[in-house]
Each structure stands twice: as structure tokens, then as C-alpha cells.
Structure 1
Amino acid sequence: MKDPNDSRLDIWRANLVALTREVGAATRLARMMTFSATYRKLMLSGQRDFSEEFARGVEAVTGLPAGWMDVPHEAREVPQAARAAIDNETPLARFRGTAHPVRKKTVLRPPEPIFGQPAARRTEDEGADVEAHRRLVHFRKVRDLAMQDVRRLERHLGRPPVELAALRAKVDDVIAAGDLDGPDRADLVGRLEQIDKHRQMLQRHVEKLQQLLGRLGESD
């Protein structure tokens, strides 16, 4: 729903494309804004319009100067601080608004129905739509918070404080220094193998969990 009185929408969209030109930047910015990745794709492709509130939110979350989105920019003109905020997925503010443009009130009112029931039903339907949207937005925010923790766990598993190869070398030193053989040596080696096996299994479970969370609430 494009607001014909606001000619800045095309500029906002072009700047949004410039901000998210790098691979994965669009997805990271969507998470920073706690917004639907599906709606983000539609905005970038021009299939969905968005509000000035969202444009101001992009500036606040990425640390762009106020009004930056209102002036055409190329990708090379994106400030380094804003680029770093998106690359590292570190929002500088919390966006609590909406991307949807606010519908302008019409001057002319539609003709009143002869009977009051259709109008009442229409009001109830609109109220139900608003409530459904509110619940969906809340669900996505809660889901995205959970996904942030899952991503942190995934990064921790991928970069453990102690590398397994280094640990195995030290255990080999212990075996050699103690001239261990038999059950003790087999137990030490077996424990290392189990640690490596379960670490890989845990990484797969974390990846699957992240994929499942990412699909929830995106059917629209």
C-alpha cells in the first residue's frame, strides 16, 4: 500500500538495497529489526511498501545519521560503522515499530448499510485481523530472541575454547608419561572419541533447531 503523498519510498528502498548488498546482510538486518525475513524480501523486491517509521528505525538500529535514508546513496557511501553493525549483527537500538504504512483516513465515508449487522461484523473482522497481526508480531519477536541464543550456541560449538586436537595431544602426552596401557589407556582414548562424536551430533541438532525456528511464523 503505497502512500502517494510520500515520494521518498523509492529512495528508502534504494538505500535499503545499498545497505544490504553484501551476502547475508539483508537477513542480518531483518533479525536486527526483529522483522520477518519474508516481508523483508518483499520490501526489497518492491512488492511491499513500508513506512517512514521503518526508515527511521533502520537509521537508529544501524547507527546511520538521522535523515540518511531520505537522500539517495550508493553502496560505497554506507558509513563503515553502519556496515560493521550489520556485519556483526549488533543493533545500536531496539526497533519496536512496524514497517506497514499507516492507511490514510478517507474524507468521504462509505454509505451506511440499511441494517447495522454488516457494519458490526466488518468492525469485528478488522479487530480480529489487528489482534492476529499483533499476536504474530509478538510470536516472531519471541522466536527471534530464541534464535539469537541458538546462534550464539552454534558459534560457541564451532569455536570451542580448547581445540579437540590439542586436547588429544596432551592426553597422549599423559599416556606416554605414565606409560599407561590396558584399561586406563583405552578409557582415555575412548572418552576423547565420545567427546568428538557427541560434539558433532550436538552441532547437527543445533543447526536443525535453528532451521525449524526460522520456518515458524513465516507461512505468510
Structure 2
Amino acid sequence: MEDFDETLYVVWRANLNVLAGSSAGAARIARMMNFSPSFMKLILAGRRDFSEEFVRGVETVTGLPPRWLDERRERRDIPAETRRAMDEELPVAVFRGTAHPAPKRPVLRGPEPLLSQTEATRRIADQALQQTEAHRRDLVFRRNRDLLVTDLRRVERQISMIQLDVINARADDLRASGKLDDPVAADLSGRIEQIEKHRAMLLQHVEKLAALMAGLDDA
């Protein structure tokens, strides 16, 4: 390992476990870092050493502030932007370094422009960042739209399953019994009629809304 405080190394490993949260979270970080999930799990379990280059790479790829992993953290300390990037597996930068604790020239490449870059290069980096954000928003839009259509189709099936024929048959039996007063019988008939009417209207609204959502353009 590089020559650094052994206590800081322990803090890094603990914070990496906090950031992952679970084996699924560890796999997401691994894919964002271009590592195998099994290798990431070995790192989190303390069975593999890692480099400071790797730690800084995790911070940049997940959108964490610089040196965020140097202090003890809890799940609630994770920034919302980092949670979103991990949930959607959209790395903020591309890590092409190594996790192995051997001195090596860092090769972390991200969309953030360096001070020495030309104005044209900075514009290209800004455009890449904007395209990444637009892609993320498109993914969120499509996911929410598809979930809403699924929910509406489920409601449509539930409404269609309402057995009004059975209700009408039971009501006819009650009216034929001669035990209902005229006002009660009239109220019974009127309310069943309203149920049938509003069921049809509700089904129509659900169908139209589902068709509207399904026809939305991704853009």
C-alpha cells in the first residue's frame, strides 16, 4: 500500500461499506467503476487491499465531494446526487485506474474541465455533461411513464372484474320478495343504476389516460 495513515485506511473501508449499503449496492459501485462485483465485495469484506487512487476514483465516479471518504460517515450523510447516480448507475466520471495498492500515475478521467484546458475543450466537456444529464432525465421520465401506465392497466382490470350482474340479480330477488318499502326499493334501484353509470365513466377515464401516457413521446 502507499505510505499513508493506517487509521485513514480503516475509515475508507468503513465508508465504502456505508456507501454500498448492501451487496446489490456494492455491485452497482463495481459496475460504475468498471470492476467485477466479486472483486468489490472482497474489498469491502477486508480480503483485498486497495489504493488511495481507488478511493478518489469512487468519490469522483459517484459524484461525492473531494475527500468525502476521509471522515466517518453514515447512510444519511450520502448526498442525494450520489444516491441518484448509484440508483441509476450513471457514473459522473470514467475510472480507468486500478484498485491495487501500487504507486501508479492516476488516470481518472471525468467531464470536469481542467484549468489548463482551452475554451473549446471546456465547451465539449460542458456539452458532454449536459448530454449525461439529459439522458438521466429521459430515463427517469420513461420509467415514471411506464410505471403509471402499468398502474392504470391494473386499475382497468380491477374495474372490469366488478360483477354487476350478480348485484342486479340479488337486487331483483330482494324487490321480488315484497318485503321492501317502495322508497327503499326505489333507492336500491337508483343506486345500482348510478353504480353502473359511474363504473362505465371511470373505466372510460382510465382507458383514455392510459392511452395518453402510452402515446407520450420520450422527448
TM, length-normalised to structure 1 = 0.45
TM, length-normalised to structure 2 = 0.45
